[in-house]
Amino acid sequence: MKWRKFFNWLPFVKEGGPVVGVLRLSGVIGSAGQFSRGLSLAGLAENIEALFKLPRLKAVALIINSPGGSPVQSALIAARIRELAEENDLPVIAFCEDAAASGGYWLACSADEIYADESSIVGSIGVISAGFGFPALIKRLGIERRVHTSGDKKAILDPFEAEKEDDVTRLKELQSDIHEAFNTFVLARRGDRLKAEPEALFTGEFWTGKRALELGLIDGIGYLRPEMRRRYGEDVDLRLIETDRGWRRLLRFGGRAPTLNVPAIDGGDIADALISKLEERAHWSRLGL
C-alpha cells in the first residue's frame, strides 16, 4: 500500500528488512596530521560501538581500503571488532576495495569472511621500516650534530649518523616480533582456509583479489550490496556509520556525504600537511597504486 511505502521511507519509523551495519575503514592506519585522517582505535571506538548497537542488526560489514600503517592500531581496531562481534554473536564480513594490504589485511582478518574485487590488492603480510640517511649531506654543509643521551641505545638509527650494524640487527628483531604477531593473527582467523604454506604467504608479497582467492586469503569475489541482498533479501537495510564534526550520525548507505569546514592555515600547517600527504602517498606507492 502507498501509505506503508511512505512510512517505510522515513528513517525514524522504518519497519522492514534486517539491518546490516556498515563501517568504512579507509586510509593509512595510525596517527595522522590535521589534514589527513589516520585510522586509530581512539578515532573509531565510538563508531565501532555504535555499529554493534543498531536495532534489528543481523550482521556487520567492513569496507576496507587501506595500504596499512601502524601494526599496533591495526591490532587494537581488529581486537575491538572481534570482541563486540563475539559478545553480540554477530557475523562480520569484510569487503576490500583498492587495497587491504599489510595492516589493511590485518583489519580484514577481523571479519569472519573476506570478499574483494578481482583487481583489489590483498596481502602484504609483513613489516617494513623506511627512512633516509643524511650523514654525508650535513658533513658537506658543515653542520655539527649534537645528541646527548643516557643509555647507549637511546639514539639508534639516527638519520644524521652513519648506519650501524648493531642498530639494524636490533630493528630486525623488533620487526620479527611484530611480524610473528601478524602471522599468528592471520593463522588464527583464516586457519584451514589458507591454501598455501605460511612460508609462501607471510613474505610481505601481495596479490590481486583473484589470486588471493586461490591462496585462501579471501573467501570470494563479491561486493557489499549484492552480497548482502543475496544473504538477507532485497529489503536489507544497509546502515553506514559515520562521524561528522564530532557528532555521531547514522546515514543511509549511499547517502550524501557530510561537508567539512576547512580551517585557516599558516605556513607551518602547510608544511605539516605536505609531509603527511607524502607519507600517505608512500604507503600507497608501495602497492603500485
Q: What is the DSSP string of 53-84?
A: T-TTEEEEEEEEEE--B-HHHHHHHHHHHHHH
Average pLDDT for 214-219: 96
N-to-C CA span, the chain: 49
Amino acid at position 11, single letter: P
Specify whether the CB–CB gap between 132 and 159 falls below 8 A.
yes
Angle of helix 71-88 versus helix 41-51 axis, rounded to 10:
20
Grid look-up 617494513 returns 128
Amino acid at position 123, single letter: G
| pTM of structure | 0.76
Q: How far apart are CA 283 and CA 216, in angstroms?
A: 24
C-alpha cell at 128: 617494513
Grid look-up 592500531 returns 73
Report how far Cα 272 is from the mean position of its chain's Cα atoms: 22
For residue range 138-197, what is the model confidence (pLDDT) as tens digits? 777 777 777 777 666 666 666 767 777 776 777 777 877 888 889 999 999 999 999 999
Q: Give me the pLDDT at residue 7, please.
A: 46
Specify whether the CB–CB gap between 145 and 138 falls below 8 A.
yes
Of 156, 151, 149, the C-alpha closest to 129 is 156
Average pLDDT for 200-217: 93
- Name the range with the highest mean pLDDT among 31-35, 158-162, 263-267, 274-278: 158-162
Q: Please report the domains of the chain, with CATH numbers, ordered by start residue.
A: 16-131+179-285 (3.90.226.10)
Give the H/E segment covering residue 262: none
Residues in the chain: 289
Of 43, 12, 54, the C-alpha closest to 246 is 43
**What Rg value do the Cα atoms of the chain yield, rounded?**
22
For residue range 79-95, what is the model confidence (pLDDT) as tens digits? 999 999 999 999 999 99
Grid look-up 543498531 returns 54
